[in-house]
Amino acid sequence: MSMPILQAKNVWKEYGDVCVLERINVSINAGEFVTVVGASGCGKSTFLKLVLGTESVSRGELLLDGKPIPQEPDEHRGIVFQKYSVFPHLTALGNVLLADEFAQSRWLGKLFGAAKKQAEERAVAMLERVGLGHALQRYPSELSGGMQQRLAIAQALMKKPRILLLDEPFGALDPGIRADMHQLIRELWLQQGLTIFMVTHDLKEGFALGSRLWVFDKARHDPQSPQRYGAQITYDIPLHGGKLKAEDAQRFSPEALLSSEKTEGEQ
């Protein structure tokens, strides 16, 4: 058995009196595609930030390859947000190249000669990979929402991350474009052997894309003090090629999960 790429051992995240996450115990193997759903504000983005390293756990242990996860973002982990802030004064190519320049030449800031040519070739190949080969010289204002997300994905992948974090990356896109993006992300996942965590508000999307689906929810409530208890992973559901495994299909129908979410919200 190989070591899990990521392990959470009794992880808690608190901001002052506010408990966001509690008792997260979970183990993820390299190559899993975890989709994360749950009510608004229940801590999904917070979990991604812990994995990214921009936030640290309050209690417990979060391990990358069995070691405490680095407390700042590095090349192991790339992230794409719902609303991507591209640099408006740089072309698509310039935006993707920037990721590489930071990675390779943090102090010089610029690449020269052969290194520059190599970086450019890699950036062009990456943009072609995400379907932006025809838009290398376009500025973000000249790109559609879907194209901007493709650009964001290309930029995140330039650093060759092992873990890709997606925080509602398709939330702002039209349904037709979303379907294209689903295909792209599944191709990238399979071809590059990525481990992916993707937050989505769309339960169907979660079931369709992932190899494993998590539901974040509070297992206990204090009516007097709603912020007292944090969310946990209340369902951890293995998926099989975008579908539930037969033996789990009855226990975890999308309808059942949705209705349980609704009941919680109404309490």
Ligand X SMILES: Nc1ncnc2c1ncn2[C@@H]1O[C@H](COP(=O)(O)OP(=O)(O)OP(=O)(O)O)[C@@H](O)[C@H]1O
Residues that bind ligand X (CB under 6 A): 15, 18, 20, 38, 40-46
Residue 240 beta carbon to ligand X: minimum distance, rounded to whole angstroms = 26
Residue 38 beta carbon to ligand X: minimum distance, rounded to whole angstroms = 6
At 158, which amino acid appears? M
Closest to ligand X by CB, 45 vs 148, is 45
Q: What is the distance between the alpha carbons of residues 82 and 129, in angstroms, rounded to a whole number?
A: 20
Closest to ligand X by CB, 101 vs 167, is 167
Q: What is the DSSP string of 38-51?
A: ESTTSSHHHHHHHH
Q: Which residues, including other chains, have CB under 8 Å from residue 241's CB and lie 6 or more apart?
A: none
Q: What is the distance between the alpha carbons of residues 192 and 182, in angstroms, rounded to a whole number?
A: 15
Residue 235 beta carbon to ligand X: minimum distance, rounded to whole angstroms = 15
- The candidate with the shortest Cα–Cα distance to 7, out of 23, 35, 21, 28, is 28
Residue 124 beta carbon to ligand X: minimum distance, rounded to whole angstroms = 34
Q: Which two tokens stand for residue 3?
A: 């070591």
How does DSSP classify residue 150?
H
Q: What is the distance between the alpha carbons of residues 202 and 149, in angstroms, rounded to a whole number?
A: 17
Closest to ligand X by CB, 20 vs 93, is 20
Nearest-5° angle of CA 37, CA 7, CA 198? Answer: 25
Torsion angle defined by CA atoms of residues 179, 245, 264 and 215, in that order, rounded to the nearest 10 degrees = -70
Q: Given the DSSP bridges, would you call strands 18-28 and 6-15 parallel, antiparallel or unpaired?
A: antiparallel
Closest to ligand X by CB, 41 vs 70, is 41
Closest to ligand X by CB, 34 vs 42, is 42
Closest to ligand X by CB, 41 vs 68, is 41
Residue 29 beta carbon to ligand X: minimum distance, rounded to whole angstroms = 24
Residue 231 beta carbon to ligand X: minimum distance, rounded to whole angstroms = 8
